[in-house]
Amino acid sequence: MSRRRCEEVAEGDELPGLRVRVTRAGLVRYAGASGDFNPIHWNERLAREVGLPDVIAHGMLTMALANRLVTTWVGDPGAIVECAVRFTRPVVVPDDDEGALVEFSGTVTQRREDAVVVAITARCAAQSVLGHATVTVALA
C-alpha cells in the first residue's frame, strides 16, 4: 500500500487494529537488536527483586509496535515525523509459549494540511499500557 493521500484522511478515522504477541524469545531478539540487556527484560528473579511482577517488555519495543500500527496503515515507515508516549504500565511477559497479547488501536485526532496526528491506545491484559501516545504522519 502506498502512502495515504491527504484527501483520503479525516479526523475521527479509525485505523485497522493490530494484535501482537510479545514472547520471551521476542524480548531476547529485541535486546540483541537494541543493545538493551537490562535483566528486567529476561531474568524473572531480578525483575521480582526490583518489585516487578515478572519479566517486562522493553518500553521502546512497545512504542515501536504502536508505531507499526501507523506505518502499516500509512504504508511508509518514513512518513512518521514525530511520536510521543507515556509508559503507564509495563507489559508483563509470562514464561510460556503464548506470551503477552498487546492490542493496538488508533484514531486520527487532528488533520493538518500535509500531516495527521493519530492517537494510539495500547492494551494488555485489559489494561492500558501507554498513555498520551500520538504519532504525527506526513501525508502525500
pLDDT in tens, 19-66: 999 999 999 999 999 999 999 999 999 999 999 999 999 999 999 999
- Model confidence at 1: pLDDT above 50: no
pLDDT in tens, 78-136: 999 999 999 999 999 999 999 999 999 999 999 999 999 999 999 999 999 999 999 99
pTM recorded for the entire structure? 0.93
Q: Kindly state the cell numbers that stand for 9.
A: 484522511
What secondary structure, in 3-state letters, does the chain show? CCCCCHHHCCCCCECCCEEEEECHHHHHHHHHHHCCCCHHHCCHHHHHHCCCCCCECCHHHHHHHHHHHHHHHHCCHHHEEEEEEEECCCCECCCCCCCEEEEEEEEEEEECCCEEEEEEEEEECCEECEEEEEEEEECC
> What fold is seen in the domain 6-21+58-138?
Thiol Ester Dehydrase; Chain A (3.10.129)
User: What separation in angstroms does the CA of 100 have from each of 52, 57, 114?
Assistant: 15, 9, 36
